[in-house]
């Protein structure tokens, strides 16, 4: 396990992904290539492979199938997300909808999902299929709740946490849970891995939501404050509104057609508020829970690699 090379694993994942997105249709092929070549940290596949090392049969065929299929599912949700949000850019490049059109974007997302399911179909373990399909239903529900919550200023932090659990943490949780499952880990270890993935996923999304305000358009690959401009009430917004009456009143008036200056003013208020550091504290608490659980795992050789990945997630703020 100590010889596990994460860079080599990423190369292996990239090569498989390139093969999986091959299509006889040139438009689908070009759109999928565009998405794949725009990068991505491949965090989910790495977590699948790492998590498999808690079991008796690490990094087997089922592990790699889950790892690449999960990334395809993640990519599909990003494409559909961009359609729902009318996003122009993703990671600094035009979204598929913007570069082609909406039908092409929707069909590309569907194509990636279909490829993922096809790739998973060779796995014998029915638990893996049941776990994946249940979680994907929840991811869809998360997308629906996000859509229904757009531009709704009156919502609770609990509501936000439930939404990001379904939207982001679930795929991370799947990565660690099914990774452990694929290697015949025991039930207790699988449960621990599931919880580790959940905590990391929650932390990951909160940091993303903070970076949306604190980073630059160049680093984000999209305009600063895109979430708020799309009507998504993230943790920094909800916390800032608690102590800033004028901001709360202004956010309550925002619509998709509000003047850019209104959004800019709100974004600047949030950037300057304590809600940024408060959000990061919440994110850190989730990472602390993941780290504490990590220490209770039976196999020590997996821990340094997980710590390294957790550290990498923490460093995204620097």
Compute the average pLDDT of residues 246-265.
97
Q: Is the pLDDT of residue 1 over 60?
A: no
Distance CA 149, CA 159 (A): 9
Q: Is the pLDDT of residue 226 over 50?
A: yes
DSSP state of 300: G
Q: What is the pLDDT of residue 317?
A: 63
Domains and CATH numbers, the chain: 1-45+57-124 (1.10.600.10), 127-317 (1.10.600.10)
Q: Is the pLDDT of residue 111 over 50?
A: yes
User: How much of the chain exceeds pLDDT 70, in percent?
Assistant: 98
Q: What is the pLDDT of residue 2?
A: 44
Distance CA 212, CA 208 (A): 6
Q: pLDDT band at residue 259, thresholds of 50, 70 and 90?
A: very high
pTM: 0.92
β-bridge partners, 89: 94
Q: What is the pLDDT of residue 209?
A: 96
* Tokens encoding 151: 């531009």
Average pLDDT score over the chain:
92
Over residues 10-67, the pLDDT tens digits come to 899 999 999 999 999 999 999 999 999 987 789 899 999 999 999 999 999 999 999 9
Q: Is the pLDDT of residue 165 over 90?
A: yes
Over residues 173-197, the pLDDT tens digits come to 999 999 999 999 999 999 999 999 9
* Residue 103 to residues 98, 114, 228, 314, Cα–Cα distance (Å): 11, 16, 26, 37
């Amino acid at each position: 396990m100590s010889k596990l090379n994460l860079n080599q694993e990423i190369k292996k994942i990239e090569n498989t992904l390139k093969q999986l997105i091959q299509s006889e249709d040139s438009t689908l092929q070009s759109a999928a290539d565009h998405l794949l070549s725009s990068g991505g940290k491949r965090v989910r596949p790495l977590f699948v492979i790492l998590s498999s090392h808690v079991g008796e049969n690490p990094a087997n065929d089922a592990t790699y199938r889950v790892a690449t299929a999960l990334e395809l599912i993640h990519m599909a949700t990003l494409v559909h997300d961009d359609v729902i949000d009318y996003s122009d850019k993703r990671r600094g490049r035009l979204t598929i909808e913007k570069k082609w059109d909406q039908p092409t974007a929707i069909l590309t997302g569907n194509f990636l999902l279909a490829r993922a399911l096809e790739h998973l179909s060779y796995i014998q373990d029915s638990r893996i299929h049941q776990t994946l399909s249940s979680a994907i239903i929840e991811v869809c529900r998360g997308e629906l709740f996000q859509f229904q919550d757009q531009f709704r200023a009156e919502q609770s932090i609990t509501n936000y946490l439930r939404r990001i659990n379904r939207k982001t943490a679930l795929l991370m949780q799947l990565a660690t849970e099914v990774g452990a499952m694929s290697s015949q880990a025991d039930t207790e270890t699988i449960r621990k891995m599931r919880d580790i993935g959940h905590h990391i996923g929650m932390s990951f999304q909160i940091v993303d939501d903070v970076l949306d305000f604190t980073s630059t358009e160049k680093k984000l690959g999209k305009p600063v404050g895109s979430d708020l401009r799309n009507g998504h009430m993230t943790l920094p917004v909800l916390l800032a509104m608690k102590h800033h009456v004028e901001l709360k009143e202004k956010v309550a008036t925002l619509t998709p057609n509000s003047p850019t200056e209104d959004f800019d003013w709100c974004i600047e208020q949030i950037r300057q508020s304590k809600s940024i550091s408060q959000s990061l504290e919440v994110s850190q608490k989730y990472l602390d829970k993941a780290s504490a659980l990590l220490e209770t795992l039976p196999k020590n050789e997996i821990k340094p690699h997980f710590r390294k990945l957790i550290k990498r997630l923490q460093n995204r703020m620097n």
